[in-house]
Amino acid sequence: MTVIAIDGPAGSGKSTLAKNLARALGYVFLDTGAMYRALALAAHRAGIAPDDETRLTELAQQIEIRFTIDGDEQRVLLGEEDVSEAIRTPEISDLASRISVYSGVRRAMVALQRALAAQSEGVVAEGRDTTTVVFPEAAVKIYLDASPQERARRRQHQLQQQGIEVPYEQLLQQILERDARDASRADSPLRIAPDAVVVQNDGWTKEQTFEYVLKLCRERLGEKV
C-alpha cells in the first residue's frame, strides 16, 4: 500500500488537494476529517455531551463510517445514511474539533482509518495527524498551511456557496480557537512531521497548489504513479 499523507490546519485546502490528487493518481481518497465530523454528527443526534469522553469513546468504537463514489463525487455514509452535507455545517465542524481531543476517540478512529486504507493499493489521506500518527511511514508527507485570515476567507466563501452566511470575524475566531485546540491537545497534536514538505499556499489558487504537490508526489514516487 502506497500512502500520501497530508496534514495541516482547518481551511488550508487539504480536502480539495487530497481529492484531486487521488483522482489524478488513481488512488483512494481517505478524508479523516469527514470521519470525525460524522462521529460528531452521530454524537449530536444521540445527545452525547461534548465533554462525555466515556460515551464518545464507546460511540467511536462502534460507529460505521464508509465512503462511496457517486459519479465524480465521494460521499460519506454513516451507517447507510448519506451525511455528506449534514457534516459540513459550522456547528458540526466545531463539535468535531472539540470531541477529537480525547485519546480513546482518536485511538478508535485511527484504527478505523487504517482498516479503510488497508483495502486499497494507493491512498491519499488528509487530516491533522495522518503524517505523524495514522500513517507515519507514508511515502509522501505534506504539511499544507495558510494564514488564519486566508483560511477564514476561504471558509466563508465555501459556506456562501452552500447558502450559509457567517460573519468573517466569527469564522476567524473559530479558526484561531480550533488551531489552539489542535496544537495543544495531549493526544496526537497537530504538528509538522520532521520529514514532511511544508507548502504555504497563501494567495495560491486550488490549481496552483494541486500542480505543485502533484509534481512533488510524482518525483517522490517515481514509477509507482
219 falls in which pLDDT band (50, 70, 90)?
very high
The pLDDT value recorded for residue 224 is 64
H/E segment holding residue 213: helix 206-221
Please tell me the predicted confidence (pLDDT) of residue 72: 77
Counting Cβ atoms within 10 Å, is residue 52 exposed (0-12), middle (13-18) or buried (19+)? middle
Stretch 77-102: mean pLDDT, rounded?
93
pLDDT for 165 beyond 70: yes
pTM of the model: 0.85
Instruction: Find the DSSP H helices in 47-195.
Output: 53-62, 90-99, 103-117, 148-161, 168-184
Average pLDDT over residues 185-211: 93
Furthest-apart CA pair in the chain: how many Å?
50
- Contact between 97 and 127 under an 8 Å Cβ cutoff? The reply is no
Q: Domains (ranges, CATH) in the chain? A: 2-213 (3.40.50.300)
